[in-house]
């Protein structure tokens, strides 16, 4: 598994106030299209925060169901990349955060089922939708989205890195 660290603020482990573990899935179908969530003018791979007591794999399956309505069963999950992002004064909270994000490849032709989703408030307020984008176009779509929301600069950098690493596995 490839490991990447983003630490533009040169934070040390002792500077960190909180650590959040996130899991993300690259859902890719047999037509070589990737499924992305879109909310608040931001694209994301389906996934999110790990909840207390969950394994990374349990959390990923829960998040995929919540965000796409897809229930995956009998699937072997293994992360292919881990990105650690250190942030000083994370989102103006006064806390220094370490986000650890595990990325998984999921090959599936399952379609989103928006009647089977369970969005959080941020997703609801941002009119969350699922978009399926050809893999050969997704990088440009992400780059074009950087101007739409200031947080996209960080998110897109991480997503592009994960896509680049995914392409080494195909």
Confidence at residue 91, expressed as pLDDT on a 0 to 100 scale:
87
Confidence at residue 166, expressed as pLDDT on a 0 to 100 scale:
95
**CA–CA distance, 127 with 120 (Å, rounded to integer):** 11
**Ranges of the chain whose pLDDT falls below 70:** none
137: containing domain: 2-168
Q: What's the half-sphere exposure (Cβ side, CA atoms, 13 Å) at 134? A: 3
The CATH number assigned to the domain holding 157 equals 3.90.79.10
Task: Check: CB of residue 34 under 8 Å from CB of residue 137.
Answer: no
Confidence at residue 117, expressed as pLDDT on a 0 to 100 scale:
92
Residue 19 backbone dihedrals phi, psi, to 5 degrees: -125, 130
Domain count, the chain: 1
Residue 88 backbone dihedrals phi, psi, to 5 degrees: -80, 135
Confidence at residue 120, expressed as pLDDT on a 0 to 100 scale:
86
Confidence at residue 74, expressed as pLDDT on a 0 to 100 scale:
86
Q: How many CB atoms lie within 10 A of CB 15?
A: 12
3 state SS of 114: helix
Q: Which of 9, 33, 31, 165 is nearest to 90 (CA)?
A: 9
Which residues lie below 8 Å from residue 90, measured CB to CB, with a gap of 6+?
Answer: 18, 96, 97
Which residues lie below 8 Å from residue 74, measured CB to CB, with a gap of 6+?
Answer: none
| Mean pLDDT computed over every residue of the chain | 95
Confidence at residue 30, expressed as pLDDT on a 0 to 100 scale:
97
């Amino acid at each position: 598994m490839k490991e990447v660290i983003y630490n533009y603020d040169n934070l040390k482990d002792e500077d960190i106030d909180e650590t959040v573990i996130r899991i993300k899935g690259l859902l890719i179908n047999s037509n070589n299209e990737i499924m992305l969530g879109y909310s608040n003018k931001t694209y994301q791979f389906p996934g999110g925060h790990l909840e207390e007591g969950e394994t990374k794999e349990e959390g990923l399956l829960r998040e995929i169901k919540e965000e796409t309505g897809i229930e995956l069963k009998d699937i072997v999950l293994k992360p292919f990349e881990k990105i650690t992002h250190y942030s000083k004064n994370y989102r103006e909270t006064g806390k220094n955060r370490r986000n650890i994000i595990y990325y998984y490849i999921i090959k599936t032709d399952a379609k989103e089922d928006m009647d089977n989703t369970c969005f959080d408030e941020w997703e609801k307020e941002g009119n969350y939708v699922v978009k399926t984008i050809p893999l050969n176009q997704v990088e440009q779509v992400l780059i074009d989205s950087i101007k739409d929301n200031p947080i996209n600069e960080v998110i897109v950098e991480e997503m592009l890195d994960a896509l680049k690493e995914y392409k080494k596995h195909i």
